[in-house]
Amino acid sequence: MSSLISRAVLVLGGARSGKSRFAEELCGQSGLERHYVATGRAWDDEMRDRIAQHRLDRGDGWMTHEEPVQLADILRRIDAPDRVVLVDCLTLWVTNLMLDEADIPARCAELTALLPTLSARVVFVSNEVGLGIVPENRMARDFRDHAGRLHQMVAAVAAEVYFVAAGLPLKMKG
């Protein structure tokens, strides 16, 4: 893991905690060209509706990139010093990697090593999944473990880390 600090920001929180809205506000305050990297896949009508609602909620002024798996690649392609990139979300990315049977530790290491080299400010949104009970099955435990390790890795190189609950951000780092 890199010991260099990046311009990255990590925003963690539970479901419907307000983390995406808070991350969008951080990006809007930057005055930079805004890019949105969506990692979700529309597997069903409900997910398609959620994606459509997110687009409406964001409004105009965002360049949207849909990339469920090749996160490091898209960040390299859209990197520029006059941009802020919102990645929503890391836990969906982990889910996609698991479904694709990817080498998750390697992909997480690739992502976190990339962050200090980027000139754009990158704001990551992710679900904190480690606060509940131990999941009952192996796949769910693996998911929790992958997400928790990734959060630690990104937090270690991020300039700022926030935890959002009930719409209220708590600054943990930076």
Buried b / exposed e along 131-170 (16+ C-beta atoms within 10 A): eeeeeeeeeeeebbebbeebbebbbbbbebbbbbeeeebe
Q: Is 16 left (phi over 0), alpha (psi -120 to 50) or beta?
A: left
35 is catalytic: no
- Tell the residue number behind the tokens 């990551």, with chain if given: 124
Radius of gyration of the chain, Cα coordinates, nearest whole angstrom: 15
Query: Which phi and psi angles does 6 have, rounded to 5°?
Result: -100, -175
Selected catalytic residue, list 54, 65, 146, 151 = 54
Active site residues: 54
